[in-house]
């Protein structure tokens, strides 16, 4: 059995029609959907997700496709609060697509380079949770993130601060001495319900969520990014989890054909 996942939609569709025996892990159209930050978080926003274990949403955001000179006025019209996190509109997995900028002052926004997405910054204790999803399996790790911004810092800072890729294996916070209010993992039942909903809405089986907890709360979470087929090598026990996923996928297809 051959297991494939393509980014070329037309080639994939033609190949699948000619080779129905091949299992394509995830449809190319769904993969492409996650490569645009304008649409990436739409599935989470539409959920209006809340239950007894917590509430999950997305930060308010604004898409800027061109003409940086108009950004201050567009931000004002949208009613976004500074500071704002600026991210490239296209999330193609490259190092550049993961670069962030933090803007403290409205008119310095003109220095940014569209196309981009502006997200309201949410204080979260400088820690984010990477929620890896592999089929039905869920694994969560802590990563250091951008530090919180106080009102005093906001009042004295101006301009644009650029950051390289913030979350990486070297920035692991799993063994750090964290404040329990910051480092406590999101409740497992909450993650399981969220993953189930997103697997269905996104039509994908291999992705991860970058998730933060609003500082000062215990149950208010935000999804700030979704990545297709992330670096699973950074996920603990990835060999066993991924192998089990492939084996279960194969057995499921075999049983379906046999029936």
pLDDT, tens digit, 9 for 90 and up, residues 220-248:
999 999 999 988 888 889 899 999 998 88
Q: Confirm if 104 and 159 have CB atoms less than 8 A apart.
A: yes
Q: How much helix, strand and coil, in percent to the nearest 5, is found in the chain?
A: 40, 25, 35
> What mean pLDDT is predicted for residues 133-156?
84
Cα separation values, 242 from 102, 155, 164, Å: 35, 47, 29
Other CB atoms within a 10 A radius of the CB of residue 79 amount to: 9
**What are the structure tokens assigned to 61, written together?**
């955001």
Distance from C-alpha of 29 to C-alpha of 83, rounded to nearest angstrom: 34
pLDDT at 155: 58
Indicate whether 207 and 99 sit together in one domain. yes
**223 within some domain:** yes
- In CATH, what number is assigned to the domain containing residue 145? 3.30.470.20
Same domain, 77 and 52: yes
Q: Please state, in angstroms and as integers, the Cα–Cα distance from residue 226 to each residue in 35, 92, 117, 200, following that order.
A: 9, 12, 14, 15
- pLDDT-based confidence at residue 164 (cuts at 50, 70, 90): low
Residue 137: predicted pLDDT:
95
Asked whether residue 141 falls in the same domain as residue 204, the answer is yes
Same domain, 144 and 206: yes
132 in the same domain as 18: no
Report yes or no on 106 lying in a domain: yes
Instruction: State whether 15 and 122 are in the same domain.
Output: no
- Residue 53's Cβ-count burial label (10 Å; 0-12, 13-18, 19+) is middle
Same domain, 66 and 117: yes
Q: Are residues 24 and 116 in the same domain?
A: no
Task: Note down the domain range covering 11.
Answer: 1-34
For residue 178, is it within any domain?
yes
Q: What is the mean pLDDT of residues 151-163?
A: 70
**Distance (Å, whole) CA 9 – CA 18:** 14
- pLDDT, residue 241, reads 93
Same domain for 222 and 107?
yes
Is residue 16 in some structural domain? yes
Structure tokens at 169: 């294996």
pLDDT of 258 reads 42
Q: How many domains does the chain have?
A: 2
Q: Are residues 102 and 121 in the same domain?
A: yes
Q: Model confidence over 119-132: pLDDT tens digits?
A: 999 999 999 999 99
Averaged pLDDT, 144-163:
76
3-state secondary structure at position 76: helix
Same domain assignment for residues 4 and 60 = no
- 60, pLDDT greater than 70: yes
- Torsion over CA of 120, 163, 223 and 212, rounded to 10 degrees? -90
Tell me the C-alpha distance between 10 and 214, whole Å: 42
Looking at the structure, tell me whether residues 1 and 85 fall in a common domain: no
Q: Is residue 181 part of a domain?
A: yes
């Amino acid at each position: 059995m051959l297991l494939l996942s393509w980014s070329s939609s037309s080639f994939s569709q033609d190949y699948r029609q000619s080779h129905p025996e091949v299992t394509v892990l995830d449809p190319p159209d769904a993969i492409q959907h996650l490569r645009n930050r304008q649409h990436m978080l739409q599935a989470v926003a539409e959920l209006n997700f809340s239950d007894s274990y917590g509430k999950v949403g997305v930060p308010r955001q604004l898409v800027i496709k061109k003409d940086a000179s108009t950004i201050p006025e567009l931000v004002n019209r949208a009613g976004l609060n500074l500071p704002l996190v600026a991210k490239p509109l296209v999330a193609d997995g490259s190092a550049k697509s993961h670069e962030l900028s933090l803007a403290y002052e409205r008119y310095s926004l003109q220095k940014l380079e569209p196309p981009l997405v502006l997200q309201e910054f949410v204080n979260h204790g400088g820690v984010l949770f990477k929620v890896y999803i592999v089929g039905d399996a869920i694994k969560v790790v802590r990563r250091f993130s951008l530090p919180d911004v106080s009102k005093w810092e906001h009042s004295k800072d101006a301009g644009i601060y650029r950051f390289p890729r913030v979350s990486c294996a070297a920035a692991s916070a799993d063994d750090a001495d964290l404040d329990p209010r910051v480092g406590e993992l999101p409740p497992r039942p909450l993650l399981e319900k969220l993953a189930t909903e997103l697997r269905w809405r996104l039509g994908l089986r291999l992705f991860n969520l970058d998730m933060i907890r609003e500082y000062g709360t215990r149950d208010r979470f935000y999804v700030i990014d979704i990545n297709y087929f992330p670096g699973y090598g950074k996920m603990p026990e990835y060999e066993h989890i991924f192998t089990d996923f492939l084996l279960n996928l194969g057995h499921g297809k075999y049983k379906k054909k046999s029936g």
